[in-house]
Amino acid sequence: MAKTVCVYLLFGWTLAPVVAWIEKYVYSDWEFLMFLFVVISVDTVLGLIKAVVQKQVSSKGFGMVLRKIVIYAGALVTTSALVKFTIDGAPQAAFGFFNNVVFSAIMLREAISIFENISEIDPNVMPVWILKYLKKFDSLTGKKLNGTE
C-alpha cells in the first residue's frame, strides 16, 4: 500500500508539470477530443463494415485512419496555439472564434463520412436529405453551397 502511494506521488509530481505545459502550450480541450474520438471510432467501424459488405477490405483503409488522426492532431494543436498565444503576456483575441470554426469543420467532415458509410451499407436507412444538407456546408471554397449544386 505504501509503495503504491509512493509510486502515485512520484508520477504525480513528475507528470503534473508536463501536463500543465501541454495544456497551456499544446492542447487543452480534452472533452472535445473525447467527442472526436467517438465520431472517428464510429466512422472507422462503419467504414470497415462498408468495406466488408463491398468486399474491399485492405490495409490502406487502416492507414487512412492513422493519417486522419495525424492531420486532425496538427489542426487541433495549431488552432489551440492561434487561440491561446500571447504577446508580452497579454492574450490576443484575433483568433478567438477559430476554435469553433475548426472544431465544427472537423466534426462536420466526420459526420458526412459516417452518413456516407451508412447510406452505402444500407441506402434505405439514411434519408438522402440529411446527407445533402450536410454536404451543403462541405465545399472547396468554404462558402455554403446552394441547392443547385
What is the tens place of the pLDDT at every residue in 69-80? Answer: 999 999 999 999
Tell me the C-alpha distance between 56 and 33, whole Å.
Answer: 30
C-alpha cell at 18: 508536463
pLDDT at 7: 75
Cα dist. 94→24, 80, 82, 90, 112 in Å? 18, 13, 8, 12, 30
- Assign 134 a pLDDT band (cuts: 50, 70, 90): confident
Which among 95, 92, 80 is positioned nearest to 21, based on CA atoms?
80
Evaluate whether residue 50 is within a structural domain: yes
Evaluate whether residue 87 is within a structural domain: yes
C-alpha cell at 48: 470497415
Evaluate whether residue 62 is within a structural domain: yes
Residue 126, helix vs strand vs coil: coil
- Assign 144 a pLDDT band (cuts: 50, 70, 90): low
Tell me the C-alpha distance between 19 and 12, whole Å.
Answer: 10
Evaluate whether residue 70 is within a structural domain: yes
Evaluate whether residue 143 is within a structural domain: no
The domain containing residue 65 runs over which residues?
Answer: 29-135
Taking only the tens place, the pLDDT of each residue in 13-44 is 888 888 899 999 999 999 999 999 999 999 99
Which among 39, 37, 19, 36 is positioned nearest to 27, based on CA atoms?
19
Residues paired with residue 90 on neighbouring β-strands, in sequence order: 87
Evaluate whether residue 41 is within a structural domain: yes
Evaluate whether residue 9 is within a structural domain: no
pLDDT at 145: 56
> Based on the structure, what is the number of domains in the chain?
1
pLDDT at 148: 45
Output 58 or 106, whichever has higher pLDDT.
Answer: 106
Task: Average the pLDDT over 76-92 and give the result.
Answer: 92
Evaluate whether residue 6 is within a structural domain: no
- pTM, entire model: 0.79
Please give the share of the chain, as a percent, with pLDDT higher than 70: 92
